[in-house]
Structure 1
Amino acid sequence: MIIFKDRYFPHYFKIIRQTYIKQRVDTFITYFKAYYWGVQLEKGSEFVGLPKFRKTPKSSIYIGKNARLLSSFSANLHGLNRKCMISTLDKNASITIGDNFGMSGGIIASALKVTIGSRVMIGANCTITDTDSHALNFKDRHANYYNLKTKDYKEPIKK
């Protein structure tokens, strides 16, 4: 058996080895996170970095076979500024993602239903959602609409 010392290999072999080990560990941890959140995650998926899952009760998230999510800031040369996040925002919301899906630092959020087909790649830091999370009518965004009690400040704020 031949034992290779690190001094015989250039530094990029160390980087490749560390990346491979990190990917294996991140994938292992992500499968547990998906199970914890009730995310249906098919086999063959790979994860670099730890994505975030958030699922409300009575909602569903399904990710098909061979998905690849890059959530590590150094995993993509486009410069990821956040981790991947897949979340449902309301009960009965649904996110369905097909096979051979790829995403780098993206967000998928659903209040009703988001469906992404097979063989889809989502570029760095993209956001896909079916809601803007704000009421379109400005009156609906006002505190009085929700019967919220707010303080009325009569004096201007001093600097």
Structure 2
Amino acid sequence: MRDQVFFLLLLLFQLICALFFLWDILSSTLGLRSTPIAWALYEMIQVGAALGLVLGVAATAILLARSLRAQAQAEQSLRLASGAFSEVLEERFADWGLTPAERDVALFSIKGLSTAEIAALRNTSEGTVKAQTNAIYRKAGVSGRPQLLSLFIDALMEDALPGVPPQTT
């Protein structure tokens, strides 16, 4: 929270500095300045404004580095979640005693492919895929594809949420 306030104040200071330089250029170009200020004070204001802009660039670099680091961590978490999902799939398939063919059908089903698409990919009939799908649902103790997918989502959520007791299936 303090970092956010600091960066907001720095952003405000940078905006004031930029506006000072803009006003300085426009006032001299348009002849708007009526009362001159002391040369030493004017120079100090310019130095302060330039320093503010340099600090703004430094703050931007810091925020960019933080953002890139957070993005890398998010991508790493996504890779871990993807690996965890594969592990959960394999564990459940083994627990249910699925055959290699049933594993393929279950995976394609979880990916959202239709019975016809699975049959085409596996070079089998739709009837065979339906029979294998029914066997998968029976072994998993579910009544359909949404419940099957829900089992895996629940397992991943249990791993992601500390303090959540695992569900018994």
TM-score, structure 1 as length reference: 0.31
TM-score normalized by structure 2? 0.29
